[in-house]
Amino acid sequence: MPANPLLALVNGRVLGDHGPREGLAVLVRGKRIVAVVADNDPRLADAQRHDLHGNLLLPGFIDVQVNGGGGLLFNDAPTAETLRGIAAAHRKFGTTGMLPTLITDTADIMRAALNAVDDAIEQQVPGILGIHVEGPFLATARKGIHNADLFRYPDEDDIEALTAPRKAAVMLTLAPDQVSPLTIARLSQGGVIVVAGHTAADYATTRAALDAGVRGFTHLYNAMTPLSSRDPGVVGAALDDPHSWCGLIADGHHVHPATLRIAIAAKARGKCVLVTDAMPPVGSDRPDYVLNGQTITMRDGICQNEAGVLAGSGLDMASAVRNTVQMLGLPLAEASRMASSYPAAWLGLERTHGRIAAGYQADLAVMDDGLVVRETWVGGVAYPVT
């Protein structure tokens, strides 16, 4: 048997730009998709067949905001082994690529987290595409669950750590009212994907940050100044800007469905991205965890402290896609893009990830008609969902 055999995924409905299509086979060799062909293509004669049993075949989901999963929190143990466990937990829900997210912490923990992601990529932990550092350069007035005692301004050591050569993407959430446009420009020019969040900025300050290099917004609407008639705020700047991306938590709790639909209608197509902001209960039987010394409990999919402050979410990407179809009324093809090709573009991976096409990474999610994941493929390797 060849070391790198040709594999044919057959008897599925391949999700394309206009919806699911029958009569197609996806040819995979190693980590890459070789071709998408008719199911009677002569190349199938020499391929190993994998039966999809009539299920839907979607591009694997890419989540740029994952704090934890499988009972693990990245902040608690920023190591490659922690990332292996978190990625495995989310893989059950079709997530094939993620940015593990570090919530506001000390400078030492931030450096450990950056190194842990490099280690995980070196060890080829499936699904790790980089890191999202959320804080500590945030605004106390919009702190959410973050520990404001750890908030600070970025110093030279911070900038050096964040812009140092890394093996994958570095995304940084900061507050434009706390970080100058000059520093934002330095970070952006140093290769950091700078996004705005947990901020009390006004429209003008946010607009200046966009001009300096801010490329997106973390969990749009939450922990930022709202849109109003005479004060557009951060939300207004985000919706007004045609080039930036907006992360949306489609769990029905963080943002009202109508409000999500307004954002999707306002933004240019391709600029709204599904995220989970997931916490340890995702993929775990334990509903509680500790963050900043506070016990957080998930009830009915909502993660809150005793005072009722939201602390991330219990959302997984399969549920986010399902909610976008069933709760927001979007076509499955668009919901899928919001979970795959659009976040890939945000990370600069649009030529290798987020599509079912020749030359792309064989990262795939197999879903039934109820949009429940049955198999997940990462780099051409199948991970059955049990």
What CATH number has the domain bearing residue 241?
A: 3.20.20.140
Q: Clarify whether residues 210 and 269 are in a common domain.
A: yes
Q: Is 155 part of the annotated catalytic residue set? A: no
Q: Are residues 18 and 141 in the same domain?
A: no
Together in a domain, 318 and 300:
yes
Same domain flag for 153 and 19: no
Same domain assignment for residues 335 and 361: no
Active-site option among 251, 277, 316, 363: 277
> 179 and 270: one domain?
yes
**103 and 40 in a common domain:** no
351: in domain: no
- Which own/partner contact pairs does 122-126 have at CB distance under 8 Å and 24+ positions apart? 122/167, 123/80, 123/84, 125/80, 125/83, 125/84, 125/87, 126/87, 126/91, 126/96, 126/378, 126/379, 126/381, 126/383
**Number of domain units in the chain:** 2
Quote the CA–CA distance of 68 and 99 in Å, as a whole number: 11
Per-residue model confidence (pLDDT) at position 77: 96
Token pair listed for 102: 């570090």
User: What sections of the chain are H helices per DSSP?
Assistant: 80-91, 107-122, 156-163, 181-189, 203-212, 233-240, 257-266, 317-326, 332-339, 341-346
- Cβ neighbours of residue 352 closer than 8 Å, sequence gap 6 or more: 344, 359, 360, 361
Q: What is the pTM of this model?
A: 0.96
Domain extent at residue 369: 6-58+356-384
3-state class percentages of the chain: helix first, strand second, coil last, to nearest 5: 30, 30, 40
Same domain flag for 299 and 167: yes
- Residues 12, 142 within the same domain: no
Verify that 235 and 365 share a domain, yes or no. no
Does 46 share its domain with 25? yes
Q: If the chain, 386 residues long, is cut into consecutive pieces of 10 residues, what is the mean pLDDT of each piece?
A: 84 90 96 96 94 97 98 97 98 98 97 98 97 98 95 97 96 98 98 98 98 98 97 98 98 96 97 97 92 88 87 95 98 97 98 97 98 97 88
Beta-carbon contacts of residue 2 (< 8 Å; ≥ 6 apart): none
The CATH number linked to 10 is 2.30.40.10
CA 74 – CA 325 distance, rounded (Å): 30
The answer on 205 and 194 residing in a single domain is: yes
